[in-house]
Amino acid sequence: MSPVYLSGRGLACALGLELGASVASLKSRCDATSFYSLPGQPDVRFPYRSIACDKGDWSARACQLVRRVAYEAGAQHIRGGVLFIATSSFDIGAVEQGESGMDYKAFADKVASWLDWTGPVYLMSTACTSSLNAMIAVHALLSTGELTDALVLGVELDNRLTLGGFAALQLLTRHRSKPFGVDRDGLVLGEAVAALRFSTREVSSWRMLGGANVVDGRQPTSASASAVTSMYQRALANSGLAADAIDLIKVQAAGSPGNDAIEAQGLRDMFQIIPPLVSLKAVIGHTMGASGAAEVALLTACLEQGVWPTYADAVDDILDVHLTAHQPESVHRVMATILGFGGGHATVVMERA
């Protein structure tokens, strides 16, 4: 199997228009929350982590962000490689504005044309686990040695349908995201465009060892503890690691009353000693299909620069898990997890040289 390296990263999110700016904003504790009102809910304002980028028509804004982020990741060097676009909402924002119809192929072609992409294009949509599943697919494809370069592009941009759907399901907080928090009451959604460039040719300080995606359909809108456990077991097995080899886990912990408790139970069931945990949802929001790539980009950069999120809210003691307040001293192997709609549970394993 060919080793698969994370050779480039790019990120636009509520913290900034590029990865470096995002890490700097996180370091300076910059809070970038905006608010959103929805039809039929005139008196309710939902917090939202939007990208500070000029509003125009949806596609022009998306094009600007995708190009910028892909360039930051070095996508211009691998245009003949494999492109995975990962999203839960496609270009529904453009549909809402009357700019385009609902057409997967047209969306994929549009994004590929923005990047002058010449290689194969996949459009992965497994709700919130989309970009982690794209990473897992890329790892499998590149490991065979038949392909050498790939770009995972997570795209989740402003649209009313996603916010309206989450509001209808009563999953959103009106306050702030409280990962594993004692009085957590829902999610804060956010926008992100994230690019991860993978290569078997270009050795870098981060290597992807593997990952696992487990769909458990018994609870199609929430996680299950047994699936969380199965996901970690499978990911460790296909990465060739034991549980005690993991130095840090980036958890989902989006502030959901039910799912945070289920995730915590899965962690307790899986690990005799739970590794240090970190959550990034409070700083960039839950960016759904882009969240896996966005949080891997942000986490790896934070680890390199010694920047760490702070948590404003106390963790719920009942959950018996803790978010580590400081960056652990020695972090070589990291798992990054996303749980989502459709019974999706996905995690990836990254190793730092």
Window 10-29: residues binding other proteins (CB under 8 A)? none
Of 3, 45, 104, 269, the one binding other proteins by CB under 8 A? 104
Min CB(216)–other proteins separation in Å: 5
Min CB(40)–other proteins separation in Å: 3
Of 71, 114, 241, 342, the one binding other proteins by CB under 8 A? 342
Q: 């980036």: which residue's tokens?
A: 250
Min CB(12)–other proteins separation in Å: 23
Sequence-ordered list of residues with C-beta below 8 angstroms from that of 56, at least 6 positions apart, any chain: none
Min CB(151)–other proteins separation in Å: 15
Single out the segment in contact with other proteins by CB under 8 A; choices: 50-58, 67-75, 116-124, 266-274: 116-124
- For the chain, report the end-to-end CA distance as a whole number of angstroms: 18
User: Closest Cα to residue 155, out of 79, 243, 59?
Assistant: 59
Binding flag, residue 74, other proteins (CB under 8 A): no
User: Closest Cα to residue 188, out of 353, 33, 7, 304?
Assistant: 33
Size of the site for other proteins (CB under 8 A): 53
* Cβ distance to other proteins smaller for residue 174 or 332: 174
Min CB(329)–other proteins separation in Å: 35
* Cβ distance to other proteins smaller for residue 276 or 342: 342
Three-state SS across 103-141? CHHHHHHHHHHHCCCCCCEEEECECECHHHHHHHHHHHH
Window 165-194: residues binding other proteins (CB under 8 A)? 165, 167-169
Min CB(30)–other proteins separation in Å: 31
Window 130-169: residues binding other proteins (CB under 8 A)? 133, 136-137, 140-141, 143-144, 160-161, 164-165, 167-169
* Cβ distance to other proteins smaller for residue 127 or 323: 127
CB 192 within 8 A of CB 290: yes
Residue 7 to residue 63: CA distance in whole angstroms: 23
Sheet architecture: strand order including 41-49: 34-38, 41-49, 189-190
Residue 229 to residue 235: CA distance in whole angstroms: 10
Q: b vs e for 17-39, b when ≥16 Cβ sit within 10 Å of the residue's Cβ?
A: bbbeebbebbeeeeebeeebebe
CA separation, residue 269 to residues 191, 224, 245, 246, 297 (Å): 32, 12, 17, 16, 28
Min CB(105)–other proteins separation in Å: 5
Binding flag, residue 120, other proteins (CB under 8 A): yes
- Angle, helices 58-73/104-114, rounded to nearest 10 degrees: 50
* Cβ distance to other proteins smaller for residue 26 or 231: 231
Min CB(86)–other proteins separation in Å: 10
Site string for other proteins, 192-231 (x = CB under 8 A): --------------------xxxxxxx-xx----xx--x-
Tell me which residues touch other proteins (CB under 8 A): 38-41, 88, 90, 92, 95-96, 102-105, 108, 120, 122-127, 129, 133, 136-137, 140-141, 143-144, 160-161, 164-165, 167-169, 212-218, 220-221, 226-227, 230, 340-344
